[in-house]
Amino acid sequence: MSDEQPEPSPARGAATSGGRRPVSVVGVLGEVLLTAGALILLFLGWQLWWNDAIMAGQQSTAASGLSAEWLEEARAARADDAPPAAEDYGDPVVAAASFDNGDPFAIMYVPRFGEDSQRRIAEGVGLDVLNSTELGVGHYPDTQMPGEVGNFAIASHRSAYGGGMHEIEQLRLGDAIYIQTRDGWYTYRFRDLEYVTPETVEVLAPVPHHPDLEPSDRIITLTSCNPLYSTAERIIAYGVLESWQPSTAGAPAEIADIVESWES
């Protein structure tokens, strides 16, 4: 903004050489308004890119730390027992829904969202969770837990504040959505996207859009805002649980290397 200031001045200097130029109210007002416009644009740039990038880094670092902690715990537990038999782990362990608002109890990692897209999932979907430098993804308190029959529903920003679901519209059929908890790893497979109005709470039902039905599937629902840089609508991504493995079995083979790189 200040870069433009030198321009008018030489001309003005030429016009006023020798004399003082009277200060015009309109002129000052114009400069104030131009400055205000520049400041607002600068703020948007800060909010949508600068601060977004900083928070994304903080949130993924925090998620890596928690993930590594759980991995370490699992390794210690495995040292005592024999490694679990591969393949058949039975029904997924479901943690009791006893977390307080703001407690991080899971990690979300979606390879399609790119490198360092791992985020902590905390209980609650208030701004204290979604706009946090350590959390970023929130769990709708009245929905099910990871691996539970029904709907594990989470929310995150699409843009700004670390944008935990920035690339949500990039999801393709069958994309993995990994959820890590202290108990283990839940692999969901993306099924479809939906675009709804912000009031459409039925997407959070155990059977989305059918609050009266008994659930039989274990699904995950991601909600974020749509279109990008707007909050007019919500974008919803559904996935279905494919497999589960306890934490003592380590991370799923496809992402084991990536998860290990988080530990450093």
Partner 1 sequence: MYAALWRVLPGPVWVRIILLLLIAAAVVFALFTWVFPWVDGIVNPIEVTVE
Which residues bind to partner 1, rule: CB under 8 A?
Answer: 1-3, 5-6, 8-10, 12, 21, 23, 27-28, 31-32, 39, 42-43, 46-47, 50-51, 125, 127, 130-131, 138, 140, 155-158, 160-161, 196, 198-201, 203-204, 223-225, 231, 234, 236
Strands 184-196 and 233-246: antiparallel
Please state the closest distance from residue 10 (CB atom) to partner 1, in A.
Answer: 8
Helices marked H in the chain: 8-15, 25-45, 51-80, 127-130, 256-261
CA 132/CA 136 separation, integer angstroms: 6
Identify the three-state secondary structure at position 67. helix
**Which CB sits closer to partner 1, 25 or 96?**
25
**Which CB sits closer to partner 1, 150 or 252?**
150
Give the DSSP letter string of 75-105. Answer: HHHHHHSPPPPSS---SPP---S-PPTT-EE
As beta bridge partners, residue 240 has: 189, 219
Q: Which two tokens stand for residue 74?
A: 């699992």
**Which CB sits closer to partner 1, 27 or 37?**
27
Q: Taking Cα atoms as reference points, which of 136, 138, 146, 140 lies closest to residue 96?
A: 146
Q: Taking Cα atoms as reference points, which of 159, 160, 119, 116 lies closest to residue 136?
A: 119
CA 130/CA 155 separation, integer angstroms: 8
